């Protein structure tokens, strides 16, 4: 990938997946990349799973489970567009039932079933599976050139990648095989026809929950049986899309030790997944203005600072106090800059070994809450790197 810009590397695929632990700015980075992709001429969709609705706030619109186009300045002369949607987990899983149910009668029986109403989110593998299923639906629609995904915060790295396989494992499990039995009848005497292991399970359930629950369960499992193959096939397709050549994974981290530890865990598990990791973005990194290194030799002396404050009208004692406070502040910030640099130095060799770019987004003086702020973030990611920051591990 030598010679290619970061924009070319990211925007040449169909899917950008922003991953990382919670609180590192994945939603912000995803939105910023979406804006820049649209300005580069790509029909772009940003899909967010952020319950705090930070993306909606930043874009100044209300988001729902349906894609909404976001007007952007300067797009009139471009073929690009930007849309965004908020994941609706229940609706996504309902869509799978609509697709794979054998007929309308079975579909309506499932939707009306009390078991389904209570466990459909859990069956989907929580937000992780629903997010990836929604991505697949949008990718297959052909409405967008590029989809940028803000993944849900995961307790463990790559949880969302494992969600399709967890659904496959669930459908192939021994207990599901026992419960979804061809000879099963939904009548009150139906469980007599079960295999011996399932009989024990169902008798226990009947004793604990009553026959009404058991009948709901049996009806749900019978209806679900006909969809198992479709769910299994779809989970396999979702996984293939995520790990395919059109996907670009971007790991977002912060300079704090906990965030760096999570990033290291992600790297540790890459070997088992063949994840197409494209880049590492470190957010909210303490830096000196304009990225220039702070040279100790150029640190102003106390006498020089006292003179500056005196010329501004402060008394001699006040100027001395201001100079002392300024030097203490500079020393404190210098320590923070050094800590962030040392912390990220741990990740640089690993990013280089994987051929990833590494970019640092400085800690901004204000919160990102509008398109202007998102544009600043995007330009820090895609713009030329300063050598001071060691920003490009490989390109």
Q: Identify the band that residue 209 occupies on the pLDDT scale cut at 50, 70 and 90.
A: very low
Q: Is residue 188 part of a domain?
A: no
Give mean pLDDT, residues 186-207.
Answer: 47
Which residues are paired to 194 by β-bridges? none
More confident residue, 194 or 46: 46
Rounded distance, CA 172 to CA 239, Å? 17
Q: Identify the band that residue 196 occupies on the pLDDT scale cut at 50, 70 and 90.
A: very low
Encode burial over 277-302: b for 16+ CB neighbours within 10 A, e otherwise. bbbbbbbbbbbeeebeeeeeeeeeee
Give mean pLDDT, residues 79-84.
Answer: 89
Give mean pLDDT, residues 352-370.
Answer: 85
Q: Is residue 328 part of a domain?
A: no
Number of folded domains that form the chain: 1
The residue assigned the tokens 């920003």 is 391
Q: Is residue 169 part of a domain?
A: no
Give mean pLDDT, residues 161-176.
Answer: 66
Q: Is residue 282 part of a domain?
A: yes
| Torsion angle in degrees (nearest 10) through CA of 94, 98, 104, 109 | -30
Residue 122 has pLDDT above 70, yes or no: no
CATH of the domain at 10: 3.40.50.300
- Give the least confident one: 38-42, 232-236, 295-299: 295-299
Percentage with pLDDT > 90 across the chain: 22
pLDDT at 185: 43
Residue 173 has pLDDT above 90, yes or no: no
More confident residue, 336 or 51: 336
Residue 44 has pLDDT above 60, yes or no: yes
More confident residue, 187 or 68: 68
Structural domain for 56, as ranges: 6-101+124-160+240-289+342-389
Residue 100 has pLDDT above 90, yes or no: no
pLDDT at 64: 74
Give mean pLDDT, residues 370-378.
Answer: 87
Rounded distance, CA 18 to CA 27, Å? 8
CB 47 within 8 A of CB 150: yes
Give mean pLDDT, residues 93-113.
Answer: 78
Q: Identify the band that residue 394 occupies on the pLDDT scale cut at 50, 70 and 90.
A: very low
User: In degrees rounded to 5, what are phi and psi of residue 112?
Assistant: -85, -10
Residue 171 has pLDDT above 80, yes or no: no
Q: Is residue 246 part of a domain?
A: yes
Q: Is residue 304 part of a domain?
A: no
CB-CB neighbours of 28 under 10 Å: 26
Q: Which tens digit of pLDDT belongs to each residue from 247-305? A: 999 999 999 988 999 888 888 877 677 777 899 999 999 887 764 545 444 667 888 88
Give mean pLDDT, residues 79-97.
Answer: 78
Give mean pLDDT, residues 80-86.
Answer: 89
CB 389 within 8 A of CB 360: yes
Q: Is residue 317 part of a domain?
A: no
Residue 390 has pLDDT above 70, yes or no: no
pLDDT at 200: 55
Q: Is residue 233 part of a domain?
A: no
Which residues are paired to 85 by β-bridges? 47
Residue 104 has pLDDT above 70, yes or no: yes
More confident residue, 32 or 175: 32
Crossing angle of helices 228-242/126-141, nearest 10°?
A: 80
More confident residue, 279 or 59: 279
């Amino acid at each position: 990938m030598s010679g290619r810009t970061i924009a070319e590397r990211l925007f040449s695929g169909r899917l950008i997946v922003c991953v990382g632990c919670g609180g590192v700015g994945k939603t912000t980075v995803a939105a910023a990349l979406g804006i820049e992709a649209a300005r580069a001429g790509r029909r772009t969709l940003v899909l967010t799973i952020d319950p705090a609705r930070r993306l909606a706030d930043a874009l100044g619109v209300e988001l729902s489970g349906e894609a909404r186009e976001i007007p952007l300045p300067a797009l009139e002369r471009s073929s690009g567009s930007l849309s965004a949607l908020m994941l609706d987990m229940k609706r996504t899983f309902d869509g799978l039932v609509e697709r794979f149910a054998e007929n309308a009668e079975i579909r309506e029986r499932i939707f009306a079933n009390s078991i389904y109403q209570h466990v459909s989110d859990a069956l989907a593998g929580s937000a992780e599976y629903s997010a990836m299923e929604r991505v697949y639906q949008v990718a297959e629609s052909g409405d967008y050139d590029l989809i940028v995904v803000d993944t849900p915060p995961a307790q463990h790295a790559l949880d969302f990648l494992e969600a399709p396989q967890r659904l496959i494992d669930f459908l192939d499990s021994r207990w599901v095989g026992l419960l979804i039995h061809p000879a099963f009848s939904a009548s009150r005497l139906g469980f007599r026809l079960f295999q011996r292991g399932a009989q024990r399970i169902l008798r226990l359930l009947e004793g604990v929950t009553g026959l009404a629950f058991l009948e709901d369960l049996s009806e749900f499992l019978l209806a679900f049986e006909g969809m198992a193959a479709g769910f299994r096939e779809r989970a396999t397709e979702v996984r293939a899309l995520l790990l395919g050549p059109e996907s670009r994974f971007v790991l977002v981290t912060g300079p704090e030790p906990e965030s760096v530890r999570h990033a290291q865990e992600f790297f540790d598990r890459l070997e088992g997944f063949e994840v197409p990791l494209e880049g590492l973005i470190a957010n909210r990194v303490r830096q000196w203005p304009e990225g220039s290194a702070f040279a100790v030799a150029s640190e102003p002396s106390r006498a020089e600072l006292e003179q500056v404050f005196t010329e501004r009208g402060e008394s001699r004692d006040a100027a001395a106090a201001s100079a002392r406070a300024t030097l203490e502040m500079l020393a404190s910030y210098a320590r923070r800059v050094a800590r962030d640099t040392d912390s990220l130095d741990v990740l640089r060799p690993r990013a280089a070994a994987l051929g990833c770019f590494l970019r640092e987004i400085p800690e901004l003086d204000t919160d990102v809450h509008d398109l202007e702020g998102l544009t600043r973030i995007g330009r820090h990611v895609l713009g030329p790197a300063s050598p001071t920051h060691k920003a490009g591990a490989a390109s």
